């Protein structure tokens, strides 16, 4: 099992998924290429023009066989100057066949996550004590608590 994103906590960063990035390309968006035991996973990140939307697409470019991709989105709805903690917000999830609509309460912008080959599993966890690179006036790291609403997994082969 490999994790492609780091979580920074006081005095530690885990997992260190950035170690698997072989290269990245910038064209219409950004593409990251992860090398995992000889397999190559491509992650494309595209921003929609004039919309509050982002598309993240994963593709197994090279694989020695079957692979499983688990996606664990971390959600946070806040002003970039604020910190969110468990209890500040609640998230209601409406599950459809190929998407999940996440509605934060108090009412903010809805978040829609769509998938084509995944299986949805509701989790509803708060990640506690994550540290962001920005610094507050005291010189210590800013802590946040993003929300993990669900986990999606898919068996995938090349293509």
* Higher pLDDT, residue 152 or 60: 60
Report, in angstroms and rounded to the nearest whole number, the Rg of the chain calculated over CA atoms.
17
Query: What is the Cα–Cα distance from 95 to 123, expressed in whole angstroms?
Result: 13
- Domain borders along the chain are 7-76+119-156
pLDDT above 90: residue 7: no
The per-residue pLDDT for 67 is: 79
Q: Whole-angstrom Cα distance, residue 138 to residue 125?
A: 29
Q: Decide: pTM greater than 0.95.
A: no
Higher pLDDT, 117 or 141: 117
Average pLDDT over residues 45-69: 86
Q: Tell me what percent of the residues of the chain surpass a pLDDT of 70.
A: 65
């Amino acid at each position: 099992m490999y994790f492609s994103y780091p979580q920074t906590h006081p005095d530690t960063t885990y997992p260190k998924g950035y170690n698997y990035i072989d290269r990245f390309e910038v064209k219409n968006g950004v593409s990251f290429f992860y090398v995992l035991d000889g397999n190559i996973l491509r992650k494309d990140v595209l921003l929609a023009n004039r919309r509050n939307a982002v598309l993240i697409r994963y593709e197994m470019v090279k694989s020695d066989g079957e692979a499983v991709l688990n996606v664990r989105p971390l959600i946070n709805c806040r002003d970039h100057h604020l910190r969110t903690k468990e209890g500040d917000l609640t998230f209601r999830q409406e599950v459809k066949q190929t998407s999940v609509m996440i509605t934060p309460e108090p009412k903010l912008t809805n978040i829609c996550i769509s998938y084509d080959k995944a299986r949805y599993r509701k989790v509803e966890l708060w990640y506690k004590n994550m540290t962001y690179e920005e610094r507050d006036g005291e010189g210590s790291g800013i802590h946040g608590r993003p929300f993990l609403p669900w986990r999606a997994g898919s068996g995938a082969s090349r293509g």
